[in-house]
Amino acid sequence: MHALILGARAPACLEWARALTAEHWQVTVADSLCWPLTKFSAAGKNYWQLPEPRKNPAAWIAALKDLVKTRKIDWIIPTCEEVFYLAWGAEKLKPHCHLFTSSFSLLATLHHKGLFADMTQNWPVKSPKTHILKSRDDVMEVADRSESYVFKPAFSRFATQTLLRPGIDSLAAIRPTLQSPWVAQEFIAGKEHCSFSLIQHGKLITHACYHPRYRVGRGSGIYFEVTHPAAIENFVQNFARETGYTGQVGFDFIEDDSGKLFVLECNPRATSGVHLFNNNSSALLKGITLQDKNDNGQQSTQVLRPTHHPRMSAMGMLLFAATKHGWKKTFWQDYKRAQDIITHNGEYKPHYAQLLGLLEMTARVLQKRCSLLAAVTADIEWDGQPMDARSDVPCN
């Protein structure tokens, strides 16, 4: 089998490439960057550069179709927000290969933080009270209670624009519209949990849950400590049945002081939890092929889970977490006991290649005058804009 893994800039793509190579699949990886991380791994040596999907979705789909036919691809596995463009153009690709994704309409609903919160209200674990804000009038309706809420764009990532329990004066910067809505979600204090799952046609195959002990600011986790609240797995099982989902999906949860869980948002794509299977490539393979049989030759109903060893981005820990926590003995103890997600089985080239990727992103920051986190996904993110027209690449 031959897999095309998209999002070669992402460590998640590197994880998938290594896993499928270990399972004797042929692997091609693709992205719109010049120096994406996975390109520098032996598992990603077959690299193709594609156009930027956000700038021209139709041109991206056409280039992807040509690549699929040229390389004789059997499966396309997205890892980042290019999944939305893939789902949008799915009908042009399905005659030629399998796509590990759900419908565009379902992905769009899950990606919208307000619509997803509405979806959960009758589920075993639901979202905190969430208001969709489409105008300044909507903002002012919750202004007197602003310090009880978290404000964030309905389509956003990395918490780059999130306002945590802001005062009224801080709300002046929030200018939602019908096309660019925000949400105000009730603040719940507690312990964070994140999940990562592989689902096929409403069946949960592979599942992991973890606590992001260290983060880059309030955004991306860089240290992944395995947890396993039964209520979270039950929630994902229910989500799979209710939606008939296919693909990778992650959820962010908060567990309050009484032990009650709330689901905050959905990420209908790969998340860092995929790295928890870096010593079990078959768990990822079975997640897309359903090739998991019990002793009687029947389809197994057992959910595949990771080992409990923590994983981390070693470079991320040193660049971002050590400056804040490096004086603590516990930080270095945590660092020592975790396994790096980039360096694996003696392959060090991707570790050093991260510096090339950082250089490319820094050039984009200077060109577009934006933050580093915004630059990372500016050309692939989808923020609810129409797909049938070209879109300038944003960078906030």
Count Cβ atoms below 10 Å from residue 274 Cβ, excluding itself: 30
Task: Flag whether 233 is in a domain.
Answer: yes
- Please tell me whether residues 334 and 217 are part of one structural domain: yes
Residue 291 is predicted with a pLDDT of 57
- The set of residues, in sequence order, having a beta carbon less than 8 Å from that of 229 and lying 6+ positions away, is 193, 209, 253, 255, 261
CA distance 110 to 266: 6
Domain count, the chain: 3
For residues 212 and 316, membership in a common domain is answered with yes
Number of Cβ atoms within 10 Å of the Cβ of 216: 18
- How sure is the predictor about 370, in pLDDT bands with cuts at 50, 70 and 90? confident
Q: What's the N-to-C CA distance of the chain in angstroms?
A: 40
Q: Are residues 223 and 267 in the same domain?
A: yes
Question: Coil, helix or strand for 110?
Answer: helix
300 and 242 share one domain: yes
Rounded to 5°, angle at Cα 357 from 19 and 198: 30
Question: Is 226 in the same domain as 300?
Answer: yes
φ/ψ region of 144 (left if φ > 0, alpha if ψ in -120 to 50, else beta) reads: alpha
Strand 203-215 with 221-227, pairing: antiparallel
Residue 305 lies in a domain: yes
Structure tokens at 127: 């979202």
The Cα 147–Cα 127 span in angstroms is: 18
The whole-angstrom separation of Cα 215 and Cα 321 is 7
DSSP 344: B
Residue 356's pLDDT band, with cuts at 50, 70 and 90, is very high
CA 70 to chain centre: 28
* Shared-domain flag, residues 176 and 207: no
Residue 214 has pLDDT above 60, yes or no: yes
Residue 292: its pLDDT value, please?
Answer: 47
How many Cα atoms are found within 13 Å in the side-chain-facing hemisphere of 381? 19
For 293-351, how does the pLDDT look when each residue is reduced to its tens digit (9 = 90+)? 545 555 567 899 999 999 999 999 999 999 999 999 999 999 999 999 999 888 999 99
* Residues 139 and 260 grouped into a single domain: no
Per-residue confidence at 219, pLDDT binned at 50, 70, 90?
confident
Give the pLDDT mean for 171-193. 96
**Pair 252, 269: CB distance under 8 Å:** no
Better-scored residue on pLDDT, 160 or 14: 14
Q: What is the pLDDT of residues 226-280, one digit of tens each?
A: 999 999 999 999 999 999 999 999 999 999 999 999 999 999 999 999 999 999 9
CB of 290 closer than 8 Å to CB of 320: no
* Domain edge (last residue) among 340, 356, 387: 340
219 and 202 assigned to the same domain: yes
Query: Could you tell me the pTM of the whole model?
Result: 0.94
Q: Does residue 78 form part of some domain? A: yes
Domain that holds residue 174: 129-186
pLDDT of residue 368: 79
Give the C-alpha separation, 50 to 64, whole Å: 7
